[in-house]
């Protein structure tokens, strides 16, 4: 039984869809402390008009509307590039909070903010990947060879 509070959409869901991509090499020395292949995460938001990528980089937030057709399969492109991709997720509805959440702007914090208050707690990209059920999706795609 999983206790995931975020909302995963089916493939036919309408409106905005959030995909999270995990990967990265160590371009900063302190990133070497994180698990290889899970040193960074970022979000891609798809809608009927196309794709917007939100990527927190060292010291700044990059937001880009990609110049690709609306039907372009960006999650598959990222998977072919070697990234682990989870989604689609529904964006969090806007809510008023009595006490604002104080947290640094990190890649994990941005992805959790997009998922909303029900997002699982995580401090590292790998922790978020696991909390969102990423290990199950990776194992289900694992190729098994049998002696025949």
Q: In the prediction, which pLDDT does 134 show?
A: 75
Check pLDDT > 50 for residue 119. Answer: yes
For residue 95, being part of any structural domain is answered with yes
For residue 70, being part of any structural domain is answered with yes
Check pLDDT > 50 for residue 143. Answer: no
For residue 36, being part of any structural domain is answered with yes
Mean pLDDT for the stretch of residues 49-55: 95
Lowest mean pLDDT of 9-23, 106-120, 131-145, name the range: 131-145
Q: How far apart are CA 42 and CA 56, in angstroms?
A: 7
For residue 144, being part of any structural domain is answered with no
What does the mean pLDDT of the chain come to?
80
Check pLDDT > 50 for residue 49. Answer: yes
CA–CA distance from 99 to each of 14, 95, 96, 102 (Å)? Answer: 31, 12, 9, 9
For residue 141, being part of any structural domain is answered with no
Q: What is the pTM of this model?
A: 0.77
Check pLDDT > 90 for residue 31. Answer: no
Residue 17 pLDDT class (50, 70, 90 cuts): very high
Q: In the prediction, which pLDDT does 142 show?
A: 44
For residue 12, being part of any structural domain is answered with no
For residue 148, being part of any structural domain is answered with no
Range of the domain at 79: 17-134
Handedness of CA 118, 119, 123, 127 (dihedral sign): positive
Q: In the prediction, which pLDDT does 106 show?
A: 87
Span 59-99, pLDDT tens digits: 789 999 999 998 999 999 999 999 999 999 998 777 766 66
How many separate domains does the chain show?
A: 1
For residue 139, being part of any structural domain is answered with no
């Amino acid at each position: 039984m999983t206790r995931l509070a975020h909302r995963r959409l089916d493939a036919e869901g309408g409106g905005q869809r959030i995909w999270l991509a995990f990967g990265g090499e160590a371009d900063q020395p302190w990133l070497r402390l994180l698990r290889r292949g899970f040193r960074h995460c970022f979000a891609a938001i798809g809608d009927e008009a196309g794709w917007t990528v939100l990527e927190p980089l060292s010291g700044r937030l990059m937001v880009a509307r990609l110049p690709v057709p609306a039907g372009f399969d960006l999650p598959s492109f990222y998977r072919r590039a070697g990234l682990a991709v989870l989604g689609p997720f529904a964006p969090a509805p806007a809510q008023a909070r009595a006490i604002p959440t104080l947290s640094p702007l990190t890649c994990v914090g941005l992805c959790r903010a997009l998922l909303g208050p029900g997002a699982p707690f995580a401090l590292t990209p790998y922790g978020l990947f696991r909390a969102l059920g990423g290990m199950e999706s990776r194992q289900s795609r694992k190729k098994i060879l049998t002696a025949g």
